[in-house]
Structure 1
Amino acid sequence: MPDGPQTAVNRLHYPFTAVVGLGNLKLALILNAISPRTGGVLIRGEKGTAKSTIVRALAALLPPVTVVTGCRFSCDPADPDPECPDGPHGAGHSASVRPARLAELPVGASEDRLIGSLDLERALTEGVKAFDPGLLAAAHRGVLYVDEVNLLHDHLVDLLLDAAALGTCYVERDAVSVRHAARFLLVGTMNPEEGELRPQLLDRFGLTVEVVASRDPVERAEVVRRRLAFEDDPGAFAIRWADEERALAARIADARARLRQVALPDAALRQIATVCAAFGVDGMRADLITAHAALAHAAWRGGTEVTADDIREAARLALPHRRRRDPFDAPGLDEAELDDLLKRSAEDPDPGPDGHGPDDGGPDGGGPEGRGPDGGGPDGRGPDGGGPDGGGPEGGGRGPEPETLLDGQDAGGPRAEAPGTGPESPGPPEGDGRPVANGPAPAQRTAQAGETYRVRPITVPGLGTGSPGRRSRARTSYGRVSGSRVPAGRLTSPHLSATLRAAAPYQRERGRTGPGLIVRPGDLREAVREGREGNLVLFLVDASGSMAARQRMGAVKGAVLSLLLDAYQRRDKVGLVTFRGSGAELVLPPTSSVEAGAVRLRALPTGGRTPLAEGLRRAAEVLRVERLRDPARRPLLVVVTDGRATSGTDADVHRAAALFTHVAAVVVDCESGPVRLGLAVRLAARLGGEAVRLERLAAGGLHDLVRERRKAA
């Protein structure tokens, strides 16, 4: 690898080989460096686990890129893009070599920054249509890194999906029509506690790795030791690891050159198809990604053809995130089942349609989890040639996985209960609501959640200015242009035609003689865009005995889970307050992770009295604090109750409801039985909101949808 600029990259960032442990993550990044067709890497993990550090260090290991001199779009001189905006590039153009680029896409980036836009300065001063390229052009033939990719705005996700799928960036805006190549290695990092990734973008990542901090004191001490040495003298630290960096970069370059000579036998291809079919992944992308990763792994270890070990390593990284069926599922892969499938497919070259042999009943999943080579090369060591080799924090890709038994049942699943003995069976009746002196604490029961479903549209009235999302109407930095205005401060989103119209009538008196347009600051106009925002959806759930006694809590949990799923799809923040017994509890502080809300809700016990007023006061306090933290995000209060209040007085409830001024509210009425008192409807009126019967929460037919859309508008 040449010195010079590449060495400078080494000294700017923490060296790749100096990162302690993280064998699976290193392997996934190296496989993508060898074969960009592997499709990128999604790195999931808790904060402070060197996710960003190791990604930024990757660029120094990539082979240098030969480009057409002066081309802003990094065209390859051997195969220039015929539609390059800086082209055409003929045979006479000179070539130059530069290091591979790492382009970073900030979460708050604008659409113009990502795809490029009209060069407004040249358009206004020279009267020409010139294109100013964005980050997709900068990332071509390099790495596009998105930190906190799960928080990326939806409009940027859509653009990223198009570019990743086509390998091309199309720009049709502001009188500009441009197409240029955009093939890049997509690397994203995320903390699952802050919310999950949209399924469409999740599937675009070829490989995924779950990382956690090591619990080994020796390894943790070594991490701190190296980091302190780097912070004390980055240059000396980089020089100390320069030999390892050069050796690893050379090995990646050799593997990339050897990749075309690696064979994929039909037997290995059938094994890949068997594994993907047996694990029930959607579509064919999993098969293709697994094949590319297996080929890269074979080249990495110096092999000439793909073996079962290569397929195993590829499947461990390519399949876990493709097995999710909804946002509440935890990604994961049973490695014992994977080993069994590979063994059976090797013994039986003609597997049945279910991915298993004709005479067996499928893998039993028993026994200890299988362990294969970690992909660190023929000697079985990690990709950096030293230190932990993947048997540390990530443990061969297993790592700690989120809970899968979320309902509190045992591994046998839900059990049939005799009438009156199930988890929702009523406890002692609440009677007249008088407290029982020195009585036993109310029994806690955990009801199993009902099935989820698509809920009817619920929006916050008016026009907001909050974070981009998909729930309520808002003025945002993206979306359709609804008008123009004089900018109040710095011009961020120019409205070209409105600016030209404002300047056009004054060209004669301003003395214009040439082709350029004379524009004064007062002529500038910015676009007013209307899109959708995400809201803070705070659930206030009645978990008292009155809910459990009427066999309603299972249906209530199913309804709230459905609302949580809707909040995930609409990019909301969610919070959960429950009230039962003698008070209210903030079970889930406002967060973007609906998975955390689902876990807390499913484990929620029920029973006791109904302190409705205390629940309302606790919810009002949560909204007050969140308004200080994020004043632009509008709240939506969803109260799930039957309206009964057996702790406190009606006046207490009335005073607590008065705390919710300028807060949109929906009361899900859970009252049942032949005689209904309409208490939830009265509560909705006090909150200035709408009451929705529990059984009518599900989205209805076309008539209901049209009615809701008209109401939202």
Structure 2
Amino acid sequence: MAQAGTGSEPGFPFSAIVGQDTLRLALTLCAVHPGIGGVLVRGEKGTAKSTVVRALAALLPPVDDGNGGRPARLVELPVGATEDRVVGSLDLEKVLRDGERAFQPGLLAAAHDGVLYVDEVNLLHDHLVDVLLDAAAMGRVHIERDGVSHSHPARFVLVGTMNPEEGELRPQLLDRFGLAVDVAASREVDVRMQVVRRRLDFEADPAGFAARYADEDSALARRIAAARAALPAIELSDTELRRIAALCASFDVDGMRADLVLARTATAHAAWRGAAAVAEEDVRVAAELTLPHRRRRDPFDEPGLDPQQLEDAMRDAAEQANQPEPEPEPDPDGPGGGAPEPESDGAASPDGAQQSAEPSESEQPGPVRAPERPAAAPSAQFKTRLLTIPGVGEGAPGRRSRSRSAQGRTVRPTTEPGRGLHLVGTLFAAAEHQVARGRRDGRMVLAPGDIRGAHREGREGNLVVFVVDASGSMAARDRLSAVTGAVVSLLRDAYQRRDKVAVITVRGAAAELVLPPTSSVDVAVRRLRSLRTGGKTPLAQGFLKAREVVLREKVRDPQRRAMVVALTDGRATGGVDPVHRARVAATLLAGESVASVVVDCESGMVRLGLARDLATALRGAYIRLGELSAEQVAGVVRAGTAKLAA
């Protein structure tokens, strides 16, 4: 845990930072009103994200700890932190020494009235991110665990930084952050020179450099304290509240969190500029900070806010804000009233027609010998069934398959070597021997055999290799549209489960790795939308290419388990005995203990069953394209060696 304001060497001054005006404003507003819910900082490496965050802590008002004032802390939460370390746990020393059940506070308690900083927040376990965001929004932490019930205040400025190239946060978690800022290094030569010059000056003489900006930092600190004190008296009129509601409605954001955060941010900005009431300019600034990341309802939506769209929304919101209050509706049971008219059923919902991505069973496309052409646009996407790898792995944190993890939830105590100590299990194991051991003075007597490790389980992200049949036999527009729609749906699922993905297309004379393994699955979607189709079906090359990708990734990341998802009708063509060669290649891939799923894309009344045969050779799972939707068929498909799911 790092603490700002307690070290002997000064940090880089907040007022000395060059550029990054939007980021500095967002952090300042959260310092004025911690209830905003924190700031998510997205940007490439080397953009001073950490420097700005660390400099902020020195500007926060001193904390009254009962013994006087102390500087506000900057608490850094490592990516590998356990839930016990974050929220707290039993105080083992008190339990063993005094026999008392006591609570040992965690990092959230240490960050109270300070800054909680999470670098690479996108790599943190999702359940820990949920804990942080809940505490940031509520200002308190409630713990019910290990036989302890405890609650304590935890008001802090939450700041998470991330590099989007290393994987995105799920949209549900993006929405939980109050504000979001994208940062990038300036392309102006003079600005870059100034950044380098100030950094070199600071490294040469940290104390002297800090002294030059001490007055500016002190003025900023006083202004933050004054804005905090003025915050309760800031007026938010119905006119500005209507403007806020109209803005959020125009951007079609989900839920009401955006409205609340926008209102809090506008109020904080009004306090920051010394105004007595929220005005249109405060709402505009707040909208620029609160709405961009909430527009990413789909994982593949581009982040950011179109300036023209914001202008149009502000103009429409102004019209809404200036409208008079609506007259109350007359009482239908009063004079001249009467029974209300029955509500109309309205038009029939089109949802049913949009759910199915599978072509009609009556389709019987004949042989296709059309030249190579662009693929049809993907059909409507859907929520896919969960595809998992059997067993328990030890891969990178994610949300797909079960894994043993030092950061996961404690499942049970174990006598096997574990990660961390299971306190309750250890105490229970020792309790039954206390009489025999002659316990005295209320102190528990422990023996080495009492120690119990914590068996923890979480979820891991996997390597998902898609083998997409883009050959002539799949080139009927409706059919391939359904297939590409299914692949996009699977890619969305992989994004949300924090997988790495690779895409291999099979057509013509070879298989092509159109996307090497990556965590940026939105790139995969762009490649898929430019897919070319036509030609023969070299399935054998597709499975061999998948095997090559899996083996190469095993060298780079031995703990990440792999799953191959093949979308094909199974009709291998081209060369000598292509069907036999495809089965041999599938058997070779299965020999690497790679989990696999074959999604049968065959349509028509007469089915050859070739895709099922491939699934047998792969010793993996088999499902039809229409069964891929979670809404049509509930359940989990577990791909694995020597397993065939009908």
User: TM-score, length-normalised on structure 2?
Assistant: 0.84
Q: Please point out which of 581, 595, 598 is paired with 1:664.
A: 595
1:688 aligns with 2:619: yes
1:677 maps to 608
Q: Please point out which of 111, 126, 134 is paired with 1:162.
A: 134
1:283 aligns with 2:255: yes
Residues 324-473 of structure 1: pairs in structure 2 closer than 5 A: 324-346=296-318, 349-351=321-323, 429=369, 443-473=372-402
2:117 maps to 145
User: Is the alpha carbon distance of 1:13 and 1:546 closer, same or farther for their aligned partners in structure 2, counting shifts above 3 Å?
Assistant: farther
Q: Distance in 2 between matches of 1:352 and 1:585?
A: 62
Give the conservation status (yes or no) of the 8 Å contact 1:460–1:472.
Answer: yes
Q: Residue 94 of structure 2 aligns to a residue in which SS?
A: helix
Question: Which amino acid in the other structure matches residue 150 of structure 2?
Answer: V
Question: Which amino acid in the other structure matches residue 175 of structure 2?
Answer: D
Residues 83-98 of structure 1: pairs in structure 2 closer than 5 A: 96-98=68-70
The gaps in structure 2 that reach 5 residues or longer are 327-364
Give the conservation status (yes or no) of the 8 Å contact 1:470–1:532.
Answer: yes
2:527 maps to 600
Q: Distance in 2 between matches of 1:236 and 1:268?
A: 46
The C-alpha deviation readout for 1:182-203, integer Å capped at 9, x for no partner, is 2222211122233322333322
Q: Residue 600 of structure 1 aligns to a residue in which SS?
A: helix
Question: Which amino acid in the other structure matches residue 683 of structure 1?
Answer: L
Q: Residue 541 of structure 1 aligns to a residue in which SS?
A: strand
The C-alpha deviation readout for 1:668-706, integer Å capped at 9, x for no partner, is 11223444333222221111112221122112557x538
Give the conservation status (yes or no) of the 8 Å contact 2:399–2:461.
Answer: yes
Question: Which amino acid in the other structure matches residue 395 of structure 2?
Answer: G
User: Is the alpha carbon distance of 1:530 and 1:492 closer, same or farther for their aligned partners in structure 2, counting shifts above 3 Å?
Assistant: closer
User: Is the alpha carbon distance of 1:581 and 1:14 closer, same or farther for their aligned partners in structure 2, counting shifts above 3 Å?
Assistant: farther
Question: Which amino acid in the other structure matches residue 52 of structure 1?
Answer: S
Q: Residue 552 of structure 1 aligns to a residue in which SS?
A: helix
2:333 maps to none
2:559 maps to 632
Alpha-carbon offset, residue 295 of structure 1? 2.1
Residues 307-318 of structure 1: pairs in structure 2 closer than 5 A: 307-318=279-290
1:621 aligns with 2:548: yes
The C-alpha deviation readout for 1:277-310, integer Å capped at 9, x for no partner, is 2222222222222222222222222333322122
Q: Distance in 2 between matches of 1:102 and 1:49?
A: 20
User: Is the alpha carbon distance of 1:641 and 1:14 closer, same or farther for their aligned partners in structure 2, counting shifts above 3 Å?
Assistant: farther
Alpha-carbon offset, residue 116 of structure 1? 0.4
Give the conservation status (yes or no) of the 8 Å contact 1:155–1:478.
Answer: no
Residues 174-573 of structure 1: pairs in structure 2 closer than 5 A: 174-346=146-318, 349-351=321-323, 429=369, 443-477=372-406, 481-488=410-417, 492-504=419-431, 506-507=433-434, 510-549=437-476, 551-573=478-500
The C-alpha deviation readout for 1:601-636, integer Å capped at 9, x for no partner, is 223333343332222222212211222232222211
Q: Distance in 2 between matches of 1:542 and 1:472?
A: 26
Give the conservation status (yes or no) of the 8 Å contact 1:429–1:549.
Answer: no
Residues 56-135 of structure 1: pairs in structure 2 closer than 5 A: 56-69=54-67, 96-135=68-107
Q: Distance in 2 between matches of 1:505 and 1:514?
A: 17
Give the conservation status (yes or no) of the 8 Å contact 1:61–1:248.
Answer: yes
The C-alpha deviation readout for 1:214-235, integer Å capped at 9, x for no partner, is 2223323333333333344433
Q: Residue 276 of structure 2 aligns to a residue in which SS?
A: coil
Give the conservation status (yes or no) of the 8 Å contact 2:462–2:500.
Answer: yes
Q: Distance in 2 between matches of 1:165 and 1:258?
A: 21
Question: Which amino acid in the other structure matches residue 453 of structure 1?
Answer: F
Alpha-carbon offset, residue 524 of structure 1? 0.5
Question: Which amino acid in the other structure matches residue 618 of structure 1?
Answer: K
Question: Which amino acid in the other structure matches residue 187 of structure 2?
Answer: R
1:705 maps to 635
Q: Distance in 2 between matches of 1:597 and 1:14?
A: 40
Q: Residue 635 of structure 2 aligns to a residue in which SS?
A: helix
Question: Which amino acid in the other structure matches residue 58 of structure 2?
Answer: A
The C-alpha deviation readout for 1:133-153, integer Å capped at 9, x for no partner, is 101101111221121222221
Give the conservation status (yes or no) of the 8 Å contact 1:146–1:188.
Answer: yes
Q: Residue 149 of structure 2 aligns to a residue in which SS?
A: strand
CA RMSD of aligned residues (A): 3.1
The C-alpha deviation readout for 1:5-51, integer Å capped at 9, x for no partner, is 97666944333223221111111111112222322211122232222
The C-alpha deviation readout for 1:617-673, integer Å capped at 9, x for no partner, is 222122112222322222111011222333444354344321332111001112234
Q: Distance in 2 between matches of 1:68 and 1:323?
A: 44
Question: Which amino acid in the other structure matches residue 612 of structure 1?
Answer: L
1:574 maps to 501
User: Is the alpha carbon distance of 1:644 and 1:299 closer, same or farther for their aligned partners in structure 2, counting shifts above 3 Å?
Assistant: same
User: Is the alpha carbon distance of 1:497 and 1:149 closer, same or farther for their aligned partners in structure 2, counting shifts above 3 Å?
Assistant: closer
Q: Distance in 2 between matches of 1:601 and 1:185?
A: 41
Q: Please point out which of 11, 14, 25 is paired with 2:12.
A: 14
User: Is the alpha carbon distance of 1:177 and 1:23 closer, same or farther for their aligned partners in structure 2, counting shifts above 3 Å?
Assistant: same
User: Is the alpha carbon distance of 1:303 and 1:495 closer, same or farther for their aligned partners in structure 2, counting shifts above 3 Å?
Assistant: closer
Q: Residue 235 of structure 1 aligns to a residue in which SS?
A: helix
1:653 maps to 582
Q: Distance in 2 between matches of 1:349 and 1:659?
A: 63
Alpha-carbon offset, residue 586 of structure 1? 2.9
Q: Residue 413 of structure 2 aligns to a residue in which SS?
A: strand
User: Is the alpha carbon distance of 1:654 and 1:23 closer, same or farther for their aligned partners in structure 2, counting shifts above 3 Å?
Assistant: same
Give the conservation status (yes or no) of the 8 Å contact 1:105–1:135.
Answer: yes
